[in-house]
């Protein structure tokens, strides 16, 4: 199988840079463990689990994507580069690899990884399809591609404590904002394919207010982290925070460009 086909099915380019925020996160929560085997394991476990969410979504959406030229070109199952069976086989191999890696770390992170895979499955699986349920679409996205990825990483290096709160203030608004922007961008496509998500129900709203609210919460989160981490790790917080900020700004800017390039949603 050509690697480009696999890359298109997993849509790795859409989230690989964002996943490198895991390195910055480890840098902040446990700097002494940054260059450890656990860092490698947790990064690739998150990578495989995230790839499953995207790949399975494309397999389930193949029939709908076939009728939309732009999506048909990208989706290898919709355009025939992969059969539906091949798509399912690849999709389900991904979480098996990811969960196998988490078993090495311990049962708690394995549990969170399993929940991530299950939420990702039901997000796209047509008999349930969380992504077509108002508000549940946003909640499931934030939990799956945000909260659970964070907890898998965090609990690999330290026990659950109040230090999770400022990180969640950064991660959850970012994940929520990304999902809303994607739904705004795909408004007409989702309408034509009978996906009744939150934006389909609420309609258009002012993106600037969303960005401002998310930005304020994120800044507060960064501020709390800055004043919480011991002073001897000052350079760690500065470098880690800068890296996270660059990733967040880059991701949001990319989505906004895609959104504003769509002239059909007025």
> What secondary structure does DSSP assign to 155-202, as a single string?
HHHS---TTHHHHHHHHHHHHHHHHHHHHHHTHHHHHHTT---HHHHH
> Is pLDDT at 213 greater than 80 in this prediction?
yes
- The predicted pLDDT at position 111 comes to 97
pLDDT of amino acid 266: 36
The CA-to-CA distance between both ends of the chain, in Å, stands at 41
pLDDT digit string, tens, across residues 74-88: 899 999 999 999 999
CB neighbour list of residue 9: distance below 8 Å, 6 or more residues apart: 54, 55, 58, 59, 75, 76, 77, 82, 87, 90, 91
Residue 14 gets which letter from DSSP? Answer: G
pLDDT at 241: 67
Q: Identify the CATH class of 32-154.
A: mainly alpha
- Quickly list H helices, the chain: 3-10, 16-19, 21-29, 37-60, 62-65, 69-74, 84-105, 107-124, 136-142, 149-157, 164-185, 187-192, 198-202, 207-228, 234-261
* Sole residue written with tokens 């549990």: 111
pTM: 0.87
């Amino acid at each position: 199988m050509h690697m480009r086909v696999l890359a298109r099915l997993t849509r790795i380019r859409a989230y690989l840079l964002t996943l490198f925020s895991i390195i910055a996160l480890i840098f902040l929560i446990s700097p002494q463990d940054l260059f450890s085997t656990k860092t490698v394991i947790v990064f690739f476990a998150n990578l495989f689990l995230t790839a499953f969410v995207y790949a399975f979504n494309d397999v389930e959406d193949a029939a709908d994507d076939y009728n939309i030229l732009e999506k048909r070109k990208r989706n290898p199952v919709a355009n025939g580069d992969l059969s539906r069976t091949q798509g399912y086989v690849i999709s389900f191999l991904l979480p098996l690899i990811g969960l196998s890696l988490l078993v090495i770390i311990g049962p708690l992170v394995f549990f969170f990884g399993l929940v991530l895979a299950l939420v990702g499955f039901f997000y796209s699986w047509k008999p349930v399809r969380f992504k077509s349920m108002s508000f549940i679409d946003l909640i499931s996205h934030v939990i799956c591609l945000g909260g659970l990825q964070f907890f898998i990483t965090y609990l690999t290096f330290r026990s659950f404590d109040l230090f999770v709160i400022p990180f969640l203030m950064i991660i959850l608004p970012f994940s929520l904002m990304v999902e809303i922007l994607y739904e705004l961008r795909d408004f007409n496509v989702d309408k034509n394919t009978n996906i009744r998500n939150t934006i389909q129900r609420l309609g258009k709203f002012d993106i600037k207010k969303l960005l401002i609210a998310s930005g304020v919460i994120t800044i507060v989160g960064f501020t709390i982290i800055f004043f919480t981490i011991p002073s001897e790790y000052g350079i760690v917080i500065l470098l880690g925070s800068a890296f996270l900020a660059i990733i967040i700004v880059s991701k949001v800017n990319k989505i906004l460009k895609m959104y504003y390039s769509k002239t059909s949603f007025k």
